[in-house]
Amino acid sequence: MNSQRLRVEIEGGVGRVTLARPDAANAIDLGFAQEFEAAALACREQNVRVVLIAAEGRFFCAGGDLKSFSAQPDLPSHLAEVTRHLHSGIATFVELDAPVVLAITGAAAGAGIGLVGAADVVVAGKSATFVMAYTAIGLSPDGSSSWFLARHLGVRRALDLTLTNRVLSASEALDWGLVSRVVGDAQVEAEAEGLVEKFSIGPTGAYGASARLIRSAGDRTLREHMAAESESIVNLSRSANGIEGIASFVERRSPHFGE
């Protein structure tokens, strides 16, 4: 893709999205939001089997580009457009069957936390930090950050981070459930690439169905959710990957999953 703020590569069923505004702390302006949406749509259209989101530079993502925002003659209208594209991109990535792996070193702030929260598996370096920062400038959260914080951390901890703007360390983020694993900064890339390799040859449909069940678990009654589980596993048992998975187990061999 021809991008200025992101580097996007799609090859061999793997989508790689790299935030590439290191001189601006990978902050989100309108161009970034538009390119992020386009990257998500490209991954969907090309039926990727896994997505890796990473960043160049010392910062993962500083959130909204306040310098750009301050120069707008009509900031409310501008923010509406920025969030429209950014939110569309985030929703598209979340809705993929393909697992989204995110690798982070350095700071994530504001909507950068939304990108972290929306990923399926997050590999964080020990240098990673997380801060909401919205209320410090008189604004409220965007970029899915409040939605995912409440689900990953619980309401009390989400309120603590959002109202006080305290900085969460990598170890705290692991303990609280915002990231999946923490490794040394030098090991983040290798750890993330190992997950990419695993997911790229796995049962993509089963990954997507499983993620949807887990994300929706708090929105239904037990009986409603078990009915959804039943429907999902029945449908997957008819799929080529479901048939192959069971056959390979019975035959004691490694499975060969297609798309």
Task: Tell me the average pLDDT across 82-88.
Answer: 98
- How many domains is the chain built from? 2
Tell me: do 89 and 76 sit in the same domain: yes
Task: Name the domain boundary from 178, 200, 222.
Answer: 200
Tell me: do 226 and 194 sit in the same domain: no
Question: pLDDT tens digits, residue range 149-174?
Answer: 999 999 999 999 999 999 999 999 99
Rounded alpha-carbon distances, angstroms, from residue 110 to 83, 88, 142: 13, 17, 8
Give the Cα separation of 177 and 124 in Å (integer): 12
Q: How many CB atoms lie within 10 A of CB 93?
A: 26
Domain that holds residue 41: 6-200
Please, which residues have CB within 8 angstroms of residue 8's CB and are 6 or more apart in sequence? 1, 15, 16, 17, 18, 35, 38, 39, 42
Tell me: do 93 and 159 sit in the same domain: yes
Catalytic residue among 65, 85, 87, 97: 87
- Closest by Cα among 169, 124, 104, 116 to 141: 116
Residue 63 and residue 28 in contact, taking contact as beta carbons nearer than 8 Å = yes
- Report the pLDDT value the prediction gives residue 3, as an integer from 0 to 100: 67
Query: Which residue(s) pair with 61 in the sheet?
Result: 108
Tell me: do 13 and 131 sit in the same domain: yes
Is pLDDT of 1 > 60? no
Tell me: do 220 and 176 sit in the same domain: no
Give the Cα separation of 160 and 141 in Å (integer): 13
Task: Name the domain boundary from 200, 220, 240.
Answer: 200
The reply to whether 74 belongs to the active site is no
Tell me: do 225 and 148 sit in the same domain: no
Helix (H) or strand (E) holding 131: strand 129-131
Our measurement of the distance from residue 35's CA atom to the centroid of its chain's CA atoms, rounded to an integer in Å, reads 16
Tell me: do 145 and 210 sit in the same domain: no
Catalytic residue among 65, 97, 120, 142: 142
Task: Tell me the average pLDDT across 92-98.
Answer: 98
The reply to whether 142 belongs to the active site is yes
- Report the pLDDT value the prediction gives residue 32, as an integer from 0 to 100: 97
Tokens 């994300």 found at: 215
Q: Is residue 1 part of a domain?
A: no
pTM, two decimal places: 0.95
- Closest by Cα among 221, 244, 241 to 49: 241
What CATH number does the domain containing 185 carry?
3.90.226.10
Question: pLDDT tens digits, residue range 3-58?
Answer: 689 999 999 999 999 999 999 999 999 999 999 999 999 999 999 999 999 999 99
Tell me: do 178 and 209 sit in the same domain: no
Give the Cα separation of 123 and 58 in Å (integer): 16
- Report the pLDDT value the prediction gives residue 258, as an integer from 0 to 100: 87
Rounded alpha-carbon distances, angstroms, from residue 107 to 87, 174, 229, 241: 21, 15, 37, 39
Q: Is residue 51 part of a domain?
A: yes
Q: Is residue 245 part of a domain?
A: yes
Tell me: do 171 and 210 sit in the same domain: no
- Report the pLDDT value the prediction gives residue 33, as an integer from 0 to 100: 98
